Amino acid sequence: MPLRPLNQTSQHKGLIDFMSVKTSIQQLPLGMWLRQGASLDSFCGRENQQLLQSLRQLTEVNDERFLFLWGAEGIGKSHLLQAVCHVATACGDSSVYLSMRQAGQFAPEMLDGLEQMSVVAIDDVDAIAGSQAWETALFNLYNRVRDNGTGSLVLAARAPLADLGLVLPDLRSRLSWGLVYQVQAMTDDEKLQALKQRADSRGFDLPDEVAAYLLRHYQRQTAQLFDLLERLDQHSLAEQRRLTIPFVKQVIESEE
């Protein structure tokens, strides 16, 4: 197998399309990267097919422009939100991805002007539950996106709306207006398929025995498996080594 050059990056600096965007949007935190391998095609699972179809339609002429996703930590919600942003970029549209886990570092005014984007993806909504200022800012953003009549807003949290602990009843009501999906966990076979597709999208071969080994011996949550695969790819590039079970063991032990 030919070895790849060392300059391949694992992330895409595609957080924001700055064309025709206010100065306030340009001040968004640039640490929130879009993962290069985040794609809707690499998210497997028969139980999620309707959800995936709805996400693909976000950038098309579609009556449903608001989606709320919920599910356990590590099940793939962030992957899906970032994948939607990649879809928008591929269509020539603007997008922004933000995780509310970093909301404590910024003011709620960070959401001002985002209604200009074609797709706004807000992750970890549960992290701002109980904050009157942030909930109000999110409520106002929802209304502005709706009033614009063009853009889409997709949000994700760890719990269903009824259990989020939102203190603003109007926000809870707004978020329930659109489509609401529970992200279902992938089966082990689907996780294996997703790992191999992710490796293929990054340009390297993941042998079946290595993929099965990762699933048997390490974190089984989708997000952590993808993170581990990216780290293995980086080590493989740096050392110009193919992925084998002994090499995987060596990398994991060096990180402990």
pLDDT tens string 230-244:
899 899 888 988 899
Find the mean pLDDT for residues 211-226: 81
Q: What is the mean pLDDT of the chain?
A: 82
Better-predicted residue by pLDDT, 255 or 163: 163
* pLDDT tops 50 at residue 144: yes
pLDDT band at 219 (very low <50, low <70, confident <90, very high): low
Query: Which residues share a beta bridge with 67?
Result: 154, 179
pLDDT band at 37 (very low <50, low <70, confident <90, very high): low
* Phi–psi pair at 133, nearest 5 degrees: -65, -45
The SS3 assignment for 155 reads strand
**Contact call for residues 119 and 90 (beta carbons, < 8 A):** no
Find the mean pLDDT for residues 176-205: 87
Find the mean pLDDT for residues 89-102: 91
Find the mean pLDDT for residues 85-93: 89
* pLDDT tops 90 at residue 99: yes
Q: Which of 8-17, 73-82, 225-234 has the lowest mean pLDDT?
A: 8-17
pTM score of the predicted model: 0.75
Interacting residues of 57 by C-beta distance below 8 A, sequence separation 6+: 64
**Contact call for residues 52 and 184 (beta carbons, < 8 A):** no
Better-predicted residue by pLDDT, 1 or 192: 192
45 burial class (0-12, 13-18, 19+ CB within 10 angstroms)? buried
pLDDT tens column, 50-76: 999 999 888 776 668 999 999 998 888
pLDDT at 15: 42
- Residue 216: both structure tokens together: 């048997």
